[in-house]
A and B are shown apart, each in its own frame.
Chain A
Amino acid sequence: MRKSIVALFLCFVVAGCSEMVVGPSGTSRNVDDFVSLGQLVRSRYPFLQFKHINWDSLLAVYRPRVDQAKGDEIYTVLHDLLAELKDGHIELRTEGGFPTQTYEWPRLQGGKAYNPLVVRKYFDRELRVAGSGNLEYEILPENIGYIYLAAFHDGNWVYDIDGILAYLSNTKGLIFDVRNNGGGNADIANVITSRFTSAVIRYSFYLPNGTPGWTGTIGPSGPNSYHKPVAVLINGASFSCAELLPELMKQIPQVTTVGDTTGGGGGSNDVFTLPSNKRIKIPTSYLRRFNGEMIEWNGIPPDIRVPQTEADVNQGRDKQLERAIALLR
């Protein structure tokens, strides 16, 4: 009897049920993924020339690593290859869609010199939240309005801006803060700009061959426009649409940008699926500034540069906000 039990027990252990149940890995598509990614970047990525990148040369350098990569080691190779493009917009996504960035733009470190809790010290009351949590606003003691825009997520939440502008209508100026905003949908920037502009503003996304593609047209719109002086706060962690918005707003005479140069993400992205079902998000068109300069890497410089360090914030000071208040006082 005991021998039977011991034999049965050993059968289970020796069989390695877990390995048997889970089975082997799927068929490797590593080389297919690499080839597909190479073709996509070559044909769709708009900054190869601007960044002086010889893509085919890079592919040749990385090919041996691809050939040697077993299983999920390919993630490392594709990640490193995409990192060569030095583009904060680019994501490598797992087969289930988890996004991972391949590059951290240098000015992102400027985001450490911003703290929303320090901003609150300049108010004598709690900030109001609107726009599904994407907007904060209140009136500073100097009777200056303040709006913080946290993100450019899709949605109708942006139309809360109309109620906010009604609330701030009697202020003598407005601070519009897009620091530490990673961007999102350009439509959000269009709606917001339309509440401040008196004239029509047109801009284009350019295709990889340099010709204009999709064109945006922004005219005065909304029930409550704001035409008093506006300071737009920006920093190195303002990225993508958080760079488009200040660039659009700079076309409006009463708007001044204050802070530090934005991150430098000028691309507009598409997502492509690789043969293994991994995905990559890469820019396929791009924005230029109204003076023709590339936003990619260069960012949007402020009209009034106010250097701000993490130490300033740790000491409870927001010099950029202080400068904007002084400008509008």
Chain B
Amino acid sequence: MSKPLSIFIAICVSVTIATAQYSQNAGNLLGSGISIRGGLGHLAIKDQYISEEKYSGTLGSFSLSWLQGDSSSASRLGFDYSGSSAIRNNNVSAQVAQAALNLDWLRSVGKFPLLGRDVFAYVGPSADCFLHYRQQRIANGGNASFSAYSFAMFLSLDVNSTLVLPLSSGFSAETSARLSLLSMGGRLADMHDSNVKFFKLVSVLSGLRGHTEILLRYDLSDIFLLKAGYRFEICQSSTWSYLLSASDNLVLIVTVRM
């Protein structure tokens, strides 16, 4: 993982943990209810199970989540899907599908001042199940087809954090991050190597999954919330053939308060 990104994620998590004194109404600040997220972005992958070549292309994403909060804590259950029908390396393409099921617990750790306003901070553990599948489209020579594919999965214990900065009436800004600490990883590896293990315990150093996002929120009404912003996701594994997948996404989230 690049140094700037590591620093950014570390700051998101550590600032949240290190600051703030007071409990706040988490349900209100984080937006209790059912949320639907749609996104469009850019995906770049380097997967040495296939080759050292980089593939990149447009990525569509969808998410459904449910957040329930009280005065000082919240829990969130979410399902994410993202996919691309054609990431490319020159005139070769591949199909990618990624899915995740995650459960976050967020606890208020207080607030701290920023630019003359209060920033409310939440932090907590997460559980995350992530699947990555890539179907290669290479060659159709003779009368046999080339249908190589690659697969990775992570069952992770994560840490997640959210910072909320209320702005003027109806508007607020928030940033959140989630980072896997310890995972049970699975990966399609060389099936001709009898010593290979397809499942291994991987640490944050050898198998990383995470995301960070920055959103602008607008309370449309007492029922609807609207958020828009940028989301960055990463999946990296060096335990087997090296895999690095990263995506930039512009996202739009609609929340129905409950």
- Whether A22 lies near B230 (C-beta < 8 A) is no
Known: A1-B115, A12-B230. Is A98-B56 also a contact (CB below 8 A)? no
A62 → B minimal CB distance (Å): 11
- Whether B192 lies near A271 (C-beta < 8 A) is yes
Given contacts A26-B51, A96-B190, 6 further A-B contacts (CB under 8 A): A19-B42, A20-B4, A79-B141, A95-B50, A97-B191, A101-B144
Closest 3 A-B residue pairs measured CB to CB? A26-B52, A96-B49, A97-B190
- Whether A71 lies near B191 (C-beta < 8 A) is no
Chain B residues closer than 8 Å to A80, beta-carbon distance: 139, 141-142
| Chain A stretch 1-38: residues in CB contact (< 8 A) with chain B | 1-2, 4-5, 8-9, 12-13, 16-27
Chain B residues closer than 8 Å to A276, beta-carbon distance: 51-52
Which of B90, B115, B216 neighbours the largest number of chain A CB atoms within 10 Å of its CB? B90
Is A100 part of the binding interface, using a Cβ–Cβ cutoff of 8 Å? Answer: yes
Is A193 part of the binding interface, using a Cβ–Cβ cutoff of 8 Å? Answer: no
Identity of the chain A residue whose Cβ is nearest the Cβ of B144 in the assembled complex: A104
Identity of the chain A residue whose Cβ is nearest the Cβ of B93 in the assembled complex: A72
A4 to B214 alpha-carbon distance, docked (Å):
13
- Whether B53 lies near A26 (C-beta < 8 A) is yes
- Whether B150 lies near A96 (C-beta < 8 A) is yes
Is A103 part of the binding interface, using a Cβ–Cβ cutoff of 8 Å? Answer: yes
- Whether A22 lies near B138 (C-beta < 8 A) is no
Known: A70-B90, A96-B48, A97-B189. Is A22-B244 also a contact (CB below 8 A)? yes
Q: Which of B60-68, B71-79, B155-163, B245-253 contacts A (4 or more CB under 8 A)?
A: B245-253
- Whether A22 lies near B115 (C-beta < 8 A) is no
Known: A95-B51, A96-B49. Is A102-B232 also a contact (CB below 8 A)? no
User: A90-125, CB under 8 A of B: which get 1 and which 0?
Assistant: 001111111111111000000000000000000000
Known: A22-B246, A98-B149, A102-B141. Is A2-B167 also a contact (CB below 8 A)? yes
Chain A residues closer than 8 Å to B167, beta-carbon distance: 1-2
A9 to B248 alpha-carbon distance, docked (Å):
12
Known: A21-B244, A79-B141, A104-B143. Is A71-B90 also a contact (CB below 8 A)? yes
- Whether B46 lies near A22 (C-beta < 8 A) is yes
Chain B residues closer than 8 Å to A278, beta-carbon distance: 51
A178 to B240 alpha-carbon distance, docked (Å):
36
Chain A residues closer than 8 Å to B49, beta-carbon distance: 94-98
Chain A residues closer than 8 Å to B173, beta-carbon distance: 5
Q: Which of B53, B149, B241, B246 contacts A17, CB < 8 Å?
A: B246
Is B188 part of the binding interface, using a Cβ–Cβ cutoff of 8 Å? Answer: yes
A240 to B9 alpha-carbon distance, docked (Å):
54
- Whether B89 lies near A25 (C-beta < 8 A) is yes
Is A75 part of the binding interface, using a Cβ–Cβ cutoff of 8 Å? Answer: yes
Is B222 part of the binding interface, using a Cβ–Cβ cutoff of 8 Å? Answer: no
Is B1 part of the binding interface, using a Cβ–Cβ cutoff of 8 Å? Answer: yes
Identity of the chain B residue whose Cβ is nearest the Cβ of A11 in the assembled complex: B230
Known: A17-B248, A96-B48. Is A9-B230 also a contact (CB below 8 A)? yes
How many residue pairs bridge A and B at CB < 8 Å?
Answer: 164
Is B54 part of the binding interface, using a Cβ–Cβ cutoff of 8 Å? Answer: yes
Identity of the chain B residue whose Cβ is nearest the Cβ of A15 in the assembled complex: B248
User: B196-210, CB under 8 A of A: which get 1 and which 0?
Assistant: 000000000000000
- Whether A83 lies near B144 (C-beta < 8 A) is yes
- Whether B138 lies near A75 (C-beta < 8 A) is yes
Known: A9-B230, A72-B89, A72-B92. Is A98-B50 also a contact (CB below 8 A)? yes
Residues of B in contact, count (CB < 8 Å)? 60
- Whether B229 lies near A9 (C-beta < 8 A) is yes
Chain A residues closer than 8 Å to B230, beta-carbon distance: 9, 12-13
A79 to B146 alpha-carbon distance, docked (Å):
8
- Whether A22 lies near B45 (C-beta < 8 A) is yes
Is A314 part of the binding interface, using a Cβ–Cβ cutoff of 8 Å? Answer: no
- Whether B189 lies near A73 (C-beta < 8 A) is no
Identity of the chain A residue whose Cβ is nearest the Cβ of B143 in the assembled complex: A104
Chain B residues closer than 8 Å to A103, beta-carbon distance: 142-144
Identity of the chain A residue whose Cβ is nearest the Cβ of B149 in the assembled complex: A98
- Whether B142 lies near A76 (C-beta < 8 A) is no
A276 to B139 alpha-carbon distance, docked (Å):
18
Is B91 part of the binding interface, using a Cβ–Cβ cutoff of 8 Å? Answer: yes
Chain A residues closer than 8 Å to B52, beta-carbon distance: 25-27, 95, 276
A102 to B66 alpha-carbon distance, docked (Å):
48
Chain B residues closer than 8 Å to A5, beta-carbon distance: 173, 216
- Whether B51 lies near A94 (C-beta < 8 A) is yes
B42 → A minimal CB distance (Å): 6
| Chain B stretch 29-48: residues in CB contact (< 8 A) with chain A | 41-48
Is B106 part of the binding interface, using a Cβ–Cβ cutoff of 8 Å? Answer: no
Chain B residues closer than 8 Å to A1, beta-carbon distance: 115, 117, 167
Identity of the chain B residue whose Cβ is nearest the Cβ of A70 in the assembled complex: B90
A296 → B minimal CB distance (Å): 16
Q: Which of A21, A25, A79 contacts B138, CB < 8 Å?
A: A79
Chain A residues closer than 8 Å to B117, beta-carbon distance: 1
Chain A residues closer than 8 Å to B51, beta-carbon distance: 26, 71-72, 75, 94-95, 276, 278
A83 to B140 alpha-carbon distance, docked (Å):
10
Identity of the chain A residue whose Cβ is nearest the Cβ of B229 in the assembled complex: A9
- Whether A22 lies near B56 (C-beta < 8 A) is yes
Query: What are 12 residue pairs bridging A and B, where the CB atoms are less than 8 Å apart in the complex?
Result: A5-B216, A9-B229, A17-B5, A18-B43, A18-B246, A22-B45, A83-B141, A93-B192, A96-B49, A99-B192, A100-B146, A102-B144
